[in-house]
Each structure stands twice: as structure tokens, then as C-alpha cells.
């Protein structure tokens, strides 16, 4: 991806511009409490990310994404890199249990998360195991 960016590959440049725009739109949606807009924005982000490199996705991830949309997700995208990470989906609350059941059946492990109102927080654990 870096080489394609450095060479000015137009497909990559257009995708990166779109990803930047979407980050701003997602932030705006969250700040305005419009979480219902996240699904389509996540989906658009996922489609742009796949245009950066054919190895971003694979048949398993495509099947999971298709399953999620069929069971109520309005969009989703991969978080993380290098063969690890999470798929993040958004759905309306009334579809959540149905979506979770379908994803478990498809072989997914589900993790809960929440938004942190104070932003990212980190801790250091010293040699004694004390958090500072």
C-alpha cells in the first residue's frame, strides 16, 4: 500500500481521500449522537479499504460481512491489521440478538465494547505489577 501511495496510484489516492472523509463523517455522527449513521459509513469505509489491497479481505470475511447484513447489520468494517483484529458491525438494537446468533452460527466469537467518553486511556504496568 505504501508503494502504491508513493507512486501516486489514482485508485489508492481516491480510496485514501474517501477514508479521510469518512473518518470526519463518523466523528461528526458520534458527536451529534447520530449513531444510526455509523452502519452505512462503516460499510463504505470497508469497501474503500478493500480497494487499497486485495489481501484486505478473504472469502471468510466476505461471508461474515454478507451474513451480518442479511441479519440486520447496516454496515461493518475490519479493525486491526496483519492477520488479526475485529469486524465491527452496527445494527439497530431490535436486530442485535438475531445478528449475534447468526454470527455465532457462522463461527464468530463476539466481544462487547463501549464508547469511552473521556477518550483513549492507557496504563503502564511496572515490574512490580503496579498500574501507574
Give the separation between CA 70 and CA 74, rounded to whole angstroms.
9
3-state percent breakdown (helix, strand, coil) of the chain, nearest 5: 55, 10, 35
- The angle at the Cα of 76, spanning 53 to 24, to the nearest 5 degrees, equals 80
More confident site: 124 or 40: 40
Confidence grade of residue 2 (pLDDT, cut at 50, 70, 90): low
User: In residues, how long is the chain?
Assistant: 132
What SS3 state is found at 78?
strand
Q: What is the pLDDT of residue 130?
A: 59
pLDDT one-digit tens code per residue, 9-61: 788 889 899 999 999 999 999 899 999 999 999 999 999 999 888 888 899 99
pLDDT of residue 121: 73
> pLDDT tens digits, residue range 65-117?
999 999 999 999 998 766 678 899 999 999 999 999 999 999 999 988 877 77
Global pTM value: 0.79
* Structure-block grid coordinates of residue 4: 502504491
Give the Cα-Cα-Cα angle 72, 74, 75 (nearest 5 degrees).
120
**64 touches 89 (CB < 8 A):** no
Amino acid at each position: 500500500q505504501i508503494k502504491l501511495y508513493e507512486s501516486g496510484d489514482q485508485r489508492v489516492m481516491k480510496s485514501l481521500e474517501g477514508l479521510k472523509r469518512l473518518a470526519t463523517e463518523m466523528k461528526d455522527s458520534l458527536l451529534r449522537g447520530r449513531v444510526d449513521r455509523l452502519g452505512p459509513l462503516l460499510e463504505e469505509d470497508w469497501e474503500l479499504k478493500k480497494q487499497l489491497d486485495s489481501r484486505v479481505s478473504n472469502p471468510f470475511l466476505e461471508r461474515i460481512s454478507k451474513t451480518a447484513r442479511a441479519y440486520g447489520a447496516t454496515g461493518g468494517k475490519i479493525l486491526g491489521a496483519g492477520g488479526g483484529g475485529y469486524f465491527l458491525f452496527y445494527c439497530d438494537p431490535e436486530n442485535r440478538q438475531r445478528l449475534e446468533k447468526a454470527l455465532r452460527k457462522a463461527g464468530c466469537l463476539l466481544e462487547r465494547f463501549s464508547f469511552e467518553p473521556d477518550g483513549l486511556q492507557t496504563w503502564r504496568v511496572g515490574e512490580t505489577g503496579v498500574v501507574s
